[in-house]
Structures are given as structure tokens and as C-alpha cells.
Chains A and B, each alone.
Chain A
Amino acid sequence: MSTNMIEVRNLSKSFGDVQAVNDISFDVARGEIFAFLGPNGAGKTTTIKMLTTLLRPTAGSLALDGLNPLTHQNQVRQQFGIVFQDPSLDSELTAWENLMLHAVLYHVPRATRQTRAESLLKLFELWERRDTPVKQFSGGMKRRLEIARGFLHTPKILFLDEPTLGLDPQSRNQLWTHVKHLNQTEGVTVFLTTHYMEEADRVAHRVGIIDHGRIVAQGSSQELKERTKTDSLEAAYLALTGSSIRDEKAATGEQMRQFVKMWRR
């Protein structure tokens, strides 16, 4: 058995003539919290999609817990939990129903389904609201529920794609406390992306920085600070990626959400 939970070698993905991810390689060790940082459009989400069987790489290889996502799609899917950048709950269903649906989709045995869901809801302080339809939840509560759901099938890896986007500092703080707690108690490997450098600095054991589809640096937060002779991860990040602003073309899904928002008003 490999010591690394995630192994990425010379991974590339292009869409037409746009090279979204360009020959990247990195490892994430078992039980590690790895923060994948980079400006908008740098290739973070594309990389996560390839790791989570949602996109086929153009070139290169990857392994999750020694398995190739392309050839062992369903085994690999069973190994990880994911919290997407955008919400993915059924807002008409209650918190409890969302969890039960997930448990069935992930083959959680009937005997452990309820106890596991109960303990996670209690941990994320949602137990009292378990029978409330998700549409009545606040942004922070929805995020907490999604993370609880990601842990429900006891995954070996948890992917968190900008999980704290749009949350208040209290919710962000609490969320990372829970993630660290589960990382320690269950040994789950965590692969996260965020734009909040102080979060990455606080929770991640190791950091990888991607820019223009290439990995520009990786190591512990301390190593990156020393390398760039800066005193914060944010300064190190800016030193490595420059401070110009990146424009990103909105994805179709995002355009549609904006359209619906306008229409509802």
C-alpha cells in the first residue's frame, strides 16, 4: 500500500486550446491536510474535478489510495467525500433526509446510518434542526450540513472546494475546528482550496500553490515563508503569484444562477 493518499503525476487538462492544468505533480500523504491555493482560474477546480472522477485528464496519471479514478471509478468514489464550491443539497428535503439519501447512495449499512448521521449532526450543531427543510437554513448551516454529509460514509479523503466562501468569521472558524477535529479523530486526509490565506496557514500541514495551470511552489507554510522571505502566508502567496488581478470567464452554471436570481427579483 502506498504511503500517499493522493498521487498526481504530470497531470494536464486542456479545453480546446486553453491549457487549464499544465503538467502538475504532487503527493498528499495519508492523514494530511493539504491546501491547494491559487488565483481564480488557476486550475484548482479543474484539478479537483479530475481527482474526483468528474473530468478526464488530457494527459498524466493520478491515484487515490492507490486506485486510478479512470479505471476504478466507483471504488474511488466510495473513498472520498466532497464539498463543492456551490451548494449541492436538495433544499426541499430536510437535513435528515439529505443525509439519509446520501447514506443510501454511498452504501452506508443500515445499522450504522442513523448513529453516524446523529453523531455528525450533533458535532456540527444541527441536530436540533434535523427535521427542518434545508431551504430554511442559513448559508453557514448549509455549509455545515454539506461537510457533515461529506463525512457520512467515513471517507478516506475529503475534498473541500472553497468551503468557507461567503461565510462569516464565526462560521469559518467553527468549520475549520470541526474539520481539524475529524482529521485527528478519524485520520481522514483533507484536500482543500480557499482564498483565505490565514485559514490555510492555520489548518493545513502542507500547501501547494498553482498559477496558470502550473504548480509554482509546495511545502509547509513555514517553508514557503522562508523561501520568499516573508512573514505571512498571504505575503508569500502574493510574492509567488504576483498581485495582478485575474479575469475569469463565468461558467455556464454561474451565468444561469445569475439569470435566475435576476428573474426572481
Chain B
Amino acid sequence: MSAVYILWLRELKRYTRSRVQMAASLGQPTLYLLALGFGLGPTFQQAGNGSYLQFLAPGVVGMTILFVSIFSGVGLLFDRQFGFLKETLVAPVPRIHIMIGRTLGGATVATLQGTLMMIVCTIAGFRPHSLASVPIAFLFMMLIAIVFCALGTAIGSLLEDMQGFQLVMNFLVMPIFFMSGALFPLGNLPAALALATRIDPLSYGIDGLRGTLIATSHFGVVTDFVVLSAIGVAFLAMGAHFFSRIQI
């Protein structure tokens, strides 16, 4: 188990040393929060949906975690390219330990980034409906991080070069973000979009965050929790499977 710990620690060290990356991954969500939050705010309010900033904050927190998690999984590509992956794969430890250490490390980093984004939201004027709900929101943040780090690991294990990464960003990560209801309420959607939001794992994560932070939820917090946990287990199994098949 010490292998799990040391690889977790490695992810954390790399994270705390790259301040630029830390700031960069907050840029886009902050832009969404400020431009859309204040830009669409009045329209949202007139439609009788309350404060858009309050509604959007859990969405951009989820967005931050999604992007950081996928990046951390795809970090496998960089490790492959710079050779460090070989060092871990010839070590006398089961591969599953290596996969779990990396994934948990990535998930911790993503949760920390999500927390920073939450602070940015608070500065912009976001207020959770009660402080007691914040720990449960953290649980959801961790779940989202695990789900997408595991997915990232699966993708990183399958990709062989950086060209494939663009494909993943455009045809997987962006759709996951846009279909998740991060930006819009899930009620009264056209049937096709409603279906897409139901398939999207991030929908349940962001819905769970809204349920705990602003006390409005579409699926119900318990459903969100159960669905997200199940997807987490499935993705971890998938990530472990593809990681175990990496050839170097």
C-alpha cells in the first residue's frame, strides 16, 4: 500500500509546485462565472429562477473539477513521453496500486482546485444556503473528481500521442461539460437534451452540489449520490482494466 501513498504524494507535490497551472485552470471557470453569471443574471432573474450567480457557482466548481481531473488522467501521456511511466511499471508492485495511487492523487488535486474555485465564487458573491451543507458538498466534489480521474486514466492508457488528446477534449470533455446542466436548469428541456443530461455523469455531480449548496436539486441528492458512486466504481474498474494493458 505504500506504493499507493507515494504516488499520491507525487501528484500532490507536482501540483503544489506548478503555481502557473494552478492559476491557469481557474481562468476559464472564472470567466464563465463572471461573464455569464453577471451577463445572463438579469434575464435569469426576470424568468423567475432566482439568482443566476447562485445557480452557476456549483456548475463552475464542477467544471473546474472535470477539467483538472481529465488533465490529471491524461498526464499519463506525459509520463509515458518523459519516461517516468516505465519506472513505475517495472517496479515490484501490483499495477492496480500504481493506478489507484495516481488516480487518488489526481482526485485530491482536482478537489483542491474545486475548493479554490469555490473561494473564487464566494468572493464573487456566492453564498451557500447553510454552512452545515458544505461538508456534504465536499463529498460530492470528491466523487466528481474520482469519476473523472478514473475516466482520464482510462483515456490516458488508451491514447498513444498528443493528437488524440485534442479529439478527447472536443468530443468528450466539452460535451460532458455543456450537457451537464452546469449552465442551465435541467427542467423543461427538449427531449433529446434531457436524455443527454441524464446520460452525462457530471449532471449528477453538479445536481448534487446544487442540492447541498443552494437546496435545489433536479434528481434528488440521494439519487445523485447513488448514481455518481456507481459510475465511480464502474470507471475505476474501466481505468484499472486499460491501465493494466499498457505496453511500454
Instruction: Assess A252 versus B161: contact at CB under 8 Å? Given A89-B83, A93-B13.
Output: yes
Instruction: Assess A92 versus B13: contact at CB under 8 Å? Given A105-B3, A256-B81.
Output: yes
A-B contact count (CB 8 A): 81
Q: How many residues of B contact A (CB 8 A)?
A: 30
A238 within 8 A of B: no
Distance to closest chain B CB from A4 (angstroms): 22
Are the CB atoms of A77 and B10 closer together than 8 Å? no
Q: Which residues of A contact B5 (CB under 8 A)?
A: 104
A256 to B162, CA, bound (A): 8
Q: Which of A87, A100, A104, A263: most chain B Cβ within 10 A?
A: A104
Are the CB atoms of A87 and B91 closer together than 8 Å? no
B9 — nearest CB in chain A belongs to which residue?
A: A101
Q: Which residues of A contact B94 (CB under 8 A)?
A: 74
Interface residues of A in 43-100 (CB under 8 A from B): 52-55, 74-75, 77-78, 82, 84, 86-93, 97, 100
Q: Which residues of A contact B160 (CB under 8 A)?
A: 252, 256
Instruction: Assess A253 versus B81: contact at CB under 8 Å? Given A101-B6, A105-B92.
Output: yes
A53 to B93, CA, bound (A): 13
Interface residues of B in 204-248 (CB under 8 A from A): 247-248
Are the CB atoms of A256 and B84 closer together than 8 Å? no
Q: Which residues of A contact B14 (CB under 8 A)?
A: 90, 92-93
Are the CB atoms of B81 and A82 closer together than 8 Å? no
Are the CB atoms of A260 and B92 closer together than 8 Å? no
Are the CB atoms of B161 and A256 closer together than 8 Å? yes
One of A84, A97, A106 near B83 (C-beta < 8 A): A84
Q: Which residues of B contact A246 (CB under 8 A)?
A: none
Q: Which residues of B contact A86 (CB under 8 A)?
A: 83
Are the CB atoms of B82 and A87 closer together than 8 Å? yes
B162-195 toward A: CB 8 Å interface, digit per residue (1/0)?
1000000000000000000000000000000000
Distance to closest chain B CB from A129 (angstroms): 17
B1-12 toward A: CB 8 Å interface, digit per residue (1/0)?
011011100100
A107 within 8 A of B: yes
Known: A92-B18, A105-B92, A253-B81. 6 other contacts (CB 8 A): A77-B91, A77-B92, A82-B90, A89-B87, A90-B10, A92-B14
7 contacts between A and B (CB under 8 A): A74-B92, A90-B10, A93-B13, A105-B3, A105-B87, A106-B91, A253-B248
